[in-house]
Amino acid sequence: MRQTDGTRILVAQGGGPTAVINQSLVGVVLEARRHEGIARVYGARHGVRGIVNEDFVDLTQETSHNLELVAGTPASALGSTRDKPDLAYCQEIFKVLRAHGIGHFFYIGGNDSSDTVRIVADEARKAGYPLRSIHIPKTIDNDLVANDHTPGFPSAARFVAQAFAGANLDNAALPGVYVAVVMGRHAGFLTAASALGKKFPDDGPHLIYLPERVFEIERFLADVKAMHQRHGRCVIAVSEGIHDAAGKPIAAQLARDLETDAHGNVQLSGSGALADLLCEEIKAKLGIKRVRGDTFGYVQRSFVGCVSDVDQREAREVGEKAVQYAMWGERDGSVAIKRTGFYSVDYELVPLEDVAGKTRVMDDAFIADNGTDVTDAFRLYLRPLLGSGMPDAYRLRPAPVPKVLRA
């Protein structure tokens, strides 16, 4: 069994890909290669599964030029995994890290990934093995506690805002009801980002449904009817995680057959079921003929043409700061983004126990009293994260011509 001399680093990516996760990867690699005491920087292919399978690549041999190109490329360059390690799995991870003499372990991911880092760090501590374990934040859901926001969310939010701006223009040209389901599971941040696509008072989305509020079918139909009567159309943003008062997913109520994931949870993403089911309810109960639905699904995670420059910069910096904390700090932890001004951030290493396995949801101050819109506080929170160069939309200022035949 090889004892570490602290010269070998291992980095891996876990969970859903994002538009900027490779910035964090490259931040780790390039920052680590600046330190004289680091001999090798390894990457595990497909996250923790690659670790237990000893499927490593030597990132020390990558050119800086190619790394920079990869940094600007969405999705997970090393590959990812949906494995959710338990204690036995984490013990296997530690066994491999020890066998390869890894002295620093960096895992880029969300809630589950932070818990994996916590357990591996505990195993190393119990074994008396000198391993520094750092979790690097990543999730489009923006549901990591102790963070103002998480890398990946701003770019996905930029996509959602622009997508709804376009959907609103389409719906205004051919009026009807449009329903779009957005990712985020049990946190409504990403769905709420749809509000940033609005410019004029009568723009959509006219209704926004978040998992932080109980969803009632009858109230939903009444809301849609009222908006359709007011505007002659209605654009609706719906979180995939909406649920009833008992916490049961609405998709599970409306559908007979639903896919579940490896953990038995209802598969909220990757299916157009919820949008289709809500559209069917609107058609059947309200008698509106033109009703259309979409599910943004996986396209919002790694869309090439819609990346926030703020998100890119911060994703790079959390990778760099992770290495600095590992080299110069004296404890394991999770890198957290803290907002310090409008707009500026700083970084902090918080205890793994503060982040691992916990879920953040939207603050009440971000949700309008009617439960179907967001507040100005949320708009001020999100706008700087979307980055520069946000596209804009305009309208004609029609000067009506008097009718002759139908005067």
Tell which residue, 229, 4, 237, has the closest CA to residue 105: 4
Task: List Cβ neighbours of 206 (8 Å cut-off, separation of 6 or more).
Answer: 227, 231, 234, 235, 236
CA distance 396 to 380: 28
Check: CB of residue 203 under 8 Å from CB of residue 377.
no
| DSSP characters over 76-108 | -TT--------HHHHHHHHHHHHHTT--EEEEE
Q: Which amino acid is at 303?
A: F
Annotated catalytic residue 141: yes
The first and second tokens of residue 214, run together, are 């109980």
End-to-end CA distance of the chain: 92
Which of 115, 141, 143, 203 is catalytic? The answer is 141
The secondary structure of residue 139, as a DSSP letter, is B
By CB atoms closer than 10 A (0-12, 13-18, 19+), residue 95 is middle
Residues belonging to the chain: 407
At residue 293's C-alpha, the angle toward residues 290 and 296, to 5°, is 155
Catalytic amino acids? 141
